[in-house]
Amino acid sequence: MNIVKKLSLVFAAVAAFAYAGAALAQEAPDALIKRVSEEVMAVAKTDKDVQSGNSQRIQQVVNEKILPYVDFQRMTALAAGRYWREASPDQQKRLTDEFRALLMYTYSGAISQIRDQKIDYRPLRADPSDTEVVVNTQVIQPRAEPIQLSYRLEKTPAGWKIFDMNVLGAWLVQTYKGSFASEIGRSGIDGLIKTLADRNQKLAGNVARTGKMTAPAK
Protein backbone atom coordinates (compact mmCIF):
# COMPACT_ATOMS: atom_id res chain seq x y z
CA MET A 1 0.00 0.00 0.00
CA ASN A 2 1.55 3.27 -1.01
CA ILE A 3 1.67 6.33 1.17
CA VAL A 4 -0.90 8.28 -0.80
CA LYS A 5 -3.44 5.52 -0.40
CA LYS A 6 -2.69 5.29 3.31
CA LEU A 7 -3.03 9.01 3.75
CA SER A 8 -6.29 9.13 1.87
CA LEU A 9 -7.62 6.33 4.07
CA VAL A 10 -6.69 8.24 7.19
CA PHE A 11 -8.24 11.34 5.74
CA ALA A 12 -11.41 9.45 4.89
CA ALA A 13 -11.59 8.03 8.40
CA VAL A 14 -11.16 11.44 9.99
CA ALA A 15 -13.71 12.94 7.65
CA ALA A 16 -16.17 10.16 8.38
CA PHE A 17 -15.70 10.70 12.09
CA ALA A 18 -16.10 14.43 11.82
CA TYR A 19 -19.24 14.18 9.78
CA ALA A 20 -20.80 11.33 11.69
CA GLY A 21 -23.16 13.75 13.43
CA ALA A 22 -24.27 15.32 10.20
CA ALA A 23 -24.58 11.94 8.51
CA LEU A 24 -26.84 10.67 11.27
CA ALA A 25 -29.15 13.63 10.80
CA GLN A 26 -29.38 12.78 7.13
CA GLU A 27 -30.29 9.15 7.73
CA ALA A 28 -32.65 8.06 4.95
CA PRO A 29 -36.32 7.99 5.98
CA ASP A 30 -36.77 4.25 5.41
CA ALA A 31 -33.54 3.52 7.30
CA LEU A 32 -34.78 5.68 10.15
CA ILE A 33 -38.12 3.87 10.38
CA LYS A 34 -36.38 0.53 10.27
CA ARG A 35 -33.91 1.42 12.98
CA VAL A 36 -36.54 2.90 15.32
CA SER A 37 -38.96 0.00 14.73
CA GLU A 38 -36.31 -2.61 15.39
CA GLU A 39 -35.14 -0.86 18.55
CA VAL A 40 -38.68 -0.63 19.92
CA MET A 41 -39.47 -4.24 18.96
CA ALA A 42 -36.29 -5.47 20.60
CA VAL A 43 -37.14 -3.75 23.86
CA ALA A 44 -40.80 -4.78 23.74
CA LYS A 45 -39.88 -8.43 23.23
CA THR A 46 -37.19 -8.71 25.88
CA ASP A 47 -38.11 -6.20 28.59
CA LYS A 48 -40.33 -7.80 31.20
CA ASP A 49 -41.42 -4.40 32.54
CA VAL A 50 -42.63 -3.32 29.12
CA GLN A 51 -44.48 -6.57 28.59
CA SER A 52 -46.30 -6.29 31.88
CA GLY A 53 -47.39 -2.78 30.93
CA ASN A 54 -45.26 -0.89 33.46
CA SER A 55 -46.16 2.69 32.65
CA GLN A 56 -42.94 4.37 33.76
CA ARG A 57 -40.72 2.04 31.79
CA ILE A 58 -42.86 2.27 28.65
CA GLN A 59 -42.94 6.05 28.80
CA GLN A 60 -39.19 6.03 29.15
CA VAL A 61 -38.84 3.84 26.05
CA VAL A 62 -41.21 6.06 24.07
CA ASN A 63 -39.43 9.23 25.17
CA GLU A 64 -36.01 7.89 24.29
CA LYS A 65 -36.65 5.92 21.14
CA ILE A 66 -39.65 7.49 19.39
CA LEU A 67 -40.28 11.08 20.46
CA PRO A 68 -37.12 12.57 18.93
CA TYR A 69 -38.37 11.54 15.49
CA VAL A 70 -41.93 12.86 15.65
CA ASP A 71 -43.07 16.36 14.73
CA PHE A 72 -46.13 16.70 16.95
CA GLN A 73 -46.70 20.32 16.10
CA ARG A 74 -47.11 19.60 12.42
CA MET A 75 -49.29 16.59 13.23
CA THR A 76 -51.55 18.69 15.45
CA ALA A 77 -51.68 21.53 12.90
CA LEU A 78 -52.83 19.14 10.19
CA ALA A 79 -55.45 17.54 12.44
CA ALA A 80 -56.78 20.99 13.34
CA GLY A 81 -56.89 21.93 9.65
CA ARG A 82 -58.07 25.45 8.92
CA TYR A 83 -58.72 26.14 12.60
CA TRP A 84 -54.98 26.05 13.31
CA ARG A 85 -54.49 29.52 11.90
CA GLU A 86 -57.29 30.89 14.06
CA ALA A 87 -55.57 29.63 17.19
CA SER A 88 -53.21 31.87 19.17
CA PRO A 89 -49.62 30.65 19.60
CA ASP A 90 -50.46 29.78 23.18
CA GLN A 91 -53.50 27.73 22.13
CA GLN A 92 -51.42 26.02 19.47
CA LYS A 93 -48.87 25.03 22.06
CA ARG A 94 -51.42 23.74 24.58
CA LEU A 95 -53.30 21.85 21.88
CA THR A 96 -50.08 20.22 20.68
CA ASP A 97 -49.13 19.25 24.24
CA GLU A 98 -52.49 17.66 24.99
CA PHE A 99 -52.65 15.84 21.66
CA ARG A 100 -49.13 14.53 22.17
CA ALA A 101 -50.06 13.27 25.63
CA LEU A 102 -53.14 11.49 24.28
CA LEU A 103 -51.16 9.81 21.51
CA MET A 104 -48.50 8.80 24.01
CA TYR A 105 -51.05 7.01 26.18
CA THR A 106 -52.45 5.09 23.23
CA TYR A 107 -49.13 4.31 21.64
CA SER A 108 -47.72 3.09 24.92
CA GLY A 109 -50.68 0.77 25.36
CA ALA A 110 -49.96 -0.71 21.93
CA ILE A 111 -46.29 -1.32 22.72
CA SER A 112 -47.11 -3.52 25.70
CA GLN A 113 -49.11 -5.77 23.34
CA ILE A 114 -46.13 -6.61 21.12
CA ARG A 115 -45.33 -10.32 21.42
CA ASP A 116 -44.37 -12.55 18.51
CA GLN A 117 -44.90 -10.03 15.70
CA LYS A 118 -42.22 -9.07 13.26
CA ILE A 119 -41.98 -6.22 10.80
CA ASP A 120 -41.64 -6.40 7.07
CA TYR A 121 -40.17 -3.30 5.41
CA ARG A 122 -41.39 -2.35 1.95
CA PRO A 123 -38.97 -0.74 -0.52
CA LEU A 124 -39.12 3.05 -0.51
CA ARG A 125 -40.66 4.51 -3.63
CA ALA A 126 -39.44 8.08 -3.61
CA ASP A 127 -37.26 10.48 -5.48
CA PRO A 128 -34.03 11.54 -3.73
CA SER A 129 -35.16 15.16 -4.03
CA ASP A 130 -38.49 14.51 -2.26
CA THR A 131 -38.97 16.37 0.99
CA GLU A 132 -42.03 14.33 1.98
CA VAL A 133 -42.15 10.55 1.74
CA VAL A 134 -44.26 7.64 2.88
CA VAL A 135 -42.51 4.61 4.35
CA ASN A 136 -44.61 1.45 4.24
CA THR A 137 -44.19 -1.44 6.65
CA GLN A 138 -46.25 -4.45 7.61
CA VAL A 139 -46.57 -6.14 10.95
CA ILE A 140 -46.53 -9.85 10.35
CA GLN A 141 -48.35 -11.83 12.99
CA PRO A 142 -49.05 -15.53 13.22
CA ARG A 143 -52.49 -16.78 12.14
CA ALA A 144 -53.79 -13.40 11.07
CA GLU A 145 -53.69 -10.93 8.25
CA PRO A 146 -50.67 -8.62 8.30
CA ILE A 147 -51.23 -5.18 9.81
CA GLN A 148 -50.37 -2.36 7.48
CA LEU A 149 -48.32 0.34 9.16
CA SER A 150 -47.09 3.38 7.25
CA TYR A 151 -45.41 6.62 8.21
CA ARG A 152 -45.40 9.98 6.52
CA LEU A 153 -42.15 11.85 7.03
CA GLU A 154 -40.89 15.30 6.25
CA LYS A 155 -37.31 16.37 5.69
CA THR A 156 -36.23 19.01 8.18
CA PRO A 157 -32.81 20.52 8.96
CA ALA A 158 -32.74 18.19 11.99
CA GLY A 159 -33.33 15.09 9.88
CA TRP A 160 -36.50 13.29 8.83
CA LYS A 161 -39.50 13.64 11.14
CA ILE A 162 -42.69 11.59 11.27
CA PHE A 163 -45.83 13.72 11.12
CA ASP A 164 -48.52 11.20 10.24
CA MET A 165 -49.01 7.50 10.60
CA ASN A 166 -51.28 4.98 8.94
CA VAL A 167 -52.66 1.95 10.76
CA LEU A 168 -54.66 -0.60 8.78
CA GLY A 169 -55.34 1.89 6.01
CA ALA A 170 -56.44 4.79 8.18
CA TRP A 171 -54.29 7.91 8.59
CA LEU A 172 -54.07 9.19 12.14
CA VAL A 173 -54.36 12.86 11.18
CA GLN A 174 -57.42 12.33 9.04
CA THR A 175 -59.04 10.10 11.62
CA TYR A 176 -58.73 12.77 14.29
CA LYS A 177 -59.60 15.60 11.96
CA GLY A 178 -63.37 15.06 12.12
CA SER A 179 -63.32 14.85 15.92
CA PHE A 180 -61.24 18.02 16.11
CA ALA A 181 -63.55 19.90 13.75
CA SER A 182 -66.76 18.90 15.50
CA GLU A 183 -65.33 19.67 18.94
CA ILE A 184 -64.05 23.08 17.79
CA GLY A 185 -67.39 23.74 16.11
CA ARG A 186 -69.19 22.99 19.36
CA SER A 187 -67.01 24.71 21.91
CA GLY A 188 -64.09 26.41 20.18
CA ILE A 189 -60.39 25.68 20.32
CA ASP A 190 -60.30 26.05 24.09
CA GLY A 191 -63.14 23.54 24.28
CA LEU A 192 -61.12 21.04 22.27
CA ILE A 193 -58.07 21.62 24.47
CA LYS A 194 -60.22 21.05 27.55
CA THR A 195 -61.77 17.87 26.14
CA LEU A 196 -58.31 16.49 25.40
CA ALA A 197 -57.01 17.56 28.81
CA ASP A 198 -59.94 15.88 30.59
CA ARG A 199 -59.38 12.71 28.62
CA ASN A 200 -55.67 12.73 29.45
CA GLN A 201 -56.41 13.29 33.11
CA LYS A 202 -58.70 10.29 33.10
CA LEU A 203 -56.07 8.16 31.40
CA ALA A 204 -53.44 9.40 33.84
CA GLY A 205 -55.79 8.39 36.64
CA ASN A 206 -56.08 4.89 35.19
CA VAL A 207 -52.32 4.64 34.94
CA ALA A 208 -51.82 5.88 38.49
CA ARG A 209 -54.38 3.42 39.81
CA THR A 210 -53.12 0.33 38.02
CA GLY A 211 -49.53 1.27 37.22
CA LYS A 212 -50.24 -0.05 33.73
CA MET A 213 -50.57 1.68 30.38
CA THR A 214 -53.19 -0.63 28.93
CA ALA A 215 -56.86 -0.03 29.52
CA PRO A 216 -58.30 -2.61 31.90
CA ALA A 217 -60.68 -4.97 30.08
CA LYS A 218 -63.99 -4.13 31.68
Partner 1 sequence: MKTLGKTLVLSASLLMAGCATTGGHNPEDPLEGFNRTMFEFNDTVDRVALKPAATAYHDYLPSFVQTGVGNFFGNIGDVWTMVNEFLQGKVEHGANDFMRVAVNTVLGFGGVLDIASEAGLQKHKEDFGQTLGKWGVGSGPYVVLPLFGPSTVRDTAALPVDWYGDLWSYTTPVDVRNTGIVIRTVDQRAALLGASNLLEEAAFDRYSFVRSAYLQRRESLVHDGQDIDAKPSSGNGDGAPDASTKSLQP
**Residue 179 CA: distances (Å) to CA of 33, 167, 210:** 28, 18, 28
* Interface stretch with partner 1, choices 13-21, 24-32, 41-49, 79-87 (CB under 8 A): 79-87
Over the window 138 to 157, marking each residue x when it contacts partner 1 by CB under 8 A and - when it does not, the resulting string is ----xxxxx-x-x-x---xx
By CB under 8 A, is residue 196 in contact with partner 1? yes
By CB under 8 A, is residue 217 in contact with partner 1? yes
By CB under 8 A, is residue 179 in contact with partner 1? yes
Residue 116 dihedral angles phi and psi, to the nearest 5°: -105, 25
The distance of closest approach from Cβ of residue 9 to partner 1 in the complex, given in angstroms and rounded to an integer, is 38
Q: CA–CA separation, 25 vs 23, rounded Å?
A: 5
By CB under 8 A, is residue 37 in contact with partner 1? no
By CB under 8 A, is residue 120 in contact with partner 1? no
Q: CA–CA separation, 218 vs 214, rounded Å?
A: 12
In single-letter form, the type of residue at position 143 comes to R
By CB under 8 A, is residue 78 in contact with partner 1? yes
By CB under 8 A, is residue 160 in contact with partner 1? no
Coil, strand, or helix at residue 139? strand
Closest CA to 165 of 178, 156, 174: 174
- CA-angle at 206, arms to 70 and 174, nearest 5°: 35
By CB under 8 A, is residue 170 in contact with partner 1? yes
User: How many C-beta neighbours within 10 Å does residue 38 have?
Assistant: 13
By CB under 8 A, is residue 173 in contact with partner 1? yes
By CB under 8 A, is residue 166 in contact with partner 1? yes
Q: CA–CA separation, 117 vs 17, rounded Å?
A: 36
Closest CA to 207 of 104, 117, 127, 119: 104
By CB under 8 A, is residue 102 in contact with partner 1? yes
By CB under 8 A, is residue 59 in contact with partner 1? no
By CB under 8 A, is residue 88 in contact with partner 1? no
Site residues for partner 1 per CB under 8 A: 73-74, 77-78, 81-82, 84-85, 102-103, 105-106, 109-110, 113, 125, 133-134, 136, 142-146, 148, 150, 152, 156-157, 163-164, 166, 168-171, 173-179, 181-183, 195-196, 199, 203, 214-218
